Structure 1
């Protein structure tokens, strides 16, 4: 298990910690009127983490089985060039969400309404967590990148479970820290949460652009390294 793998996983987990389910909704729950119910918000975050862990274990298992069936086909230069084009395409697509366009905040506002509606019971929060996680499955690019790294890393099953569990903990850690700060120092943290909420609504599109850009860079960089393109620059 290399330090590079651990750093890559930690970086991807921190990117994943800024999604609707892991940051946006927790901020809105913390801003809801009335006292903060720590147990219920932790139930929400635990549901998100467990769901991601289950999906990750499933994908790693499928990826390992697929790699075994395909053998060295994934190292074919044609496949690697296609991966490079995909990564560059994602990176180019990210510039469409550079924040200069008028933000489309309708979807974000709908999630905020869901988070601040209802009776905030534990069952309702679990349902909200699953709904948010399911809505993000198709766009969880950092997590898919992390799963891909683990599927091809050659580490054992126990290490895969431990690394994925650690990934999910890091992913919800910022929200947990905000919860702790909100309970300990509400007068200090409330203005920060309000500013963060305003940023979320105004910059949701550009946040998606950052996620696409980072994922595209990592995909393209992996393909370029395996194609030996970086060695050409040293000549």
Structure 2
């Protein structure tokens, strides 16, 4: 992650937040709402986005409060040889996980082409969530519940978010500034969905078909994108640890 540390903190956080903004909870589910038949239910969509933003903001506050007290211990640990070996193992594990997820997604796509209904379970779940949120009788609490469920399912796998929270906690800033950066991060996370909502309202005919194609692409490549993120982060962590340990391998450099 050397390229991020060379950037001003707000710029680095904006990049990470935009990556997080391409996740299932922050973009794919809102896209499903936008392409639903009829006029977009703006109130429901904004309530969903506000709820998932509030969830990540609360998690970020708890994460920051917890990590600030431990950040110095963690830095000392990572500066040690044992810590670098641990970082190397974590990086290799993430790299392996990314490769495994990519292979699993490839097998799922092959099953889907062969007509295996089990390969379509993820799509069916998203459709059920959309129907639940947009149904006329659905309460605001149910919409918030869907957002909370999406956040809980995703939060552990959103590595850019965790990296961003660590950068905020490690910055020499007071708590008000940390919380302001965290709020900005969470707002940038939903910016792509808000822009698409505005486009859907202002130019419905022009963007409806592109939105449908983009949603289908997100649906097809969501697992693949996650595997790439895991693999790249794992590679960068492993490369950093190899460099700090004075080790060199031809395929890492």
> Taking structure 2 as the reference length, what is the TM-score of the superposition?
0.80
8 Å CA contact 1:91, 1:213 repeated in 2: yes
> How far, CA to CA, are the matches of 1:71 and 1:198 in structure 2?
42
1:29 aligned partner: 33
**Correspondence 1:41-120 to 2 at 5 A:** 41-68=45-72, 72-98=76-102, 100-103=106-109, 104-117=119-132, 118-119=135-136, 120=138
2:212 aligned partner: 194
1:134 aligned partner: 152
8 Å CA contact 1:53, 1:164 repeated in 2: yes
8 Å CA contact 2:94, 2:230 repeated in 1: yes
Q: Which moved more, 1:84-93 or 1:16-25?
A: 84-93
Q: Which moved more, 1:107-116 or 1:20-29?
A: 107-116
8 Å CA contact 1:84, 1:220 repeated in 2: yes
1:96-120 per-residue CA deviation (whole Å, 9 max, x = no partner) reads: 3446433344234312321233435
Structure 2: state its 5+ residue gaps: 110-118, 248-253
1:86-143 per-residue CA deviation (whole Å, 9 max, x = no partner) reads: 1232123222344643334423431232123343543322111111111112222211
**Number of residues paired by the alignment?**
232
8 Å CA contact 2:26, 2:190 repeated in 1: yes
Alpha-carbon spacing, 1:45–1:212, altered in 2? closer, same or farther (3 Å) = same
1:25-62 per-residue CA deviation (whole Å, 9 max, x = no partner) reads: 10011111221122221111111111101101111111
1:58-78 per-residue CA deviation (whole Å, 9 max, x = no partner) reads: 111111112356672342221
CA offset at residue 151 of structure 1? Answer: 1.9
What is the RMSD of the two structures over their aligned residues, measured on CA atoms?
2.7
> Taking structure 1 as the reference length, what is the TM-score of the superposition?
0.86
Alpha-carbon spacing, 1:106–1:2, altered in 2? closer, same or farther (3 Å) = same
> How far, CA to CA, are the matches of 1:56 and 1:220 in structure 2?
26
Alpha-carbon spacing, 1:177–1:74, altered in 2? closer, same or farther (3 Å) = same
Alpha-carbon spacing, 1:2–1:88, altered in 2? closer, same or farther (3 Å) = same
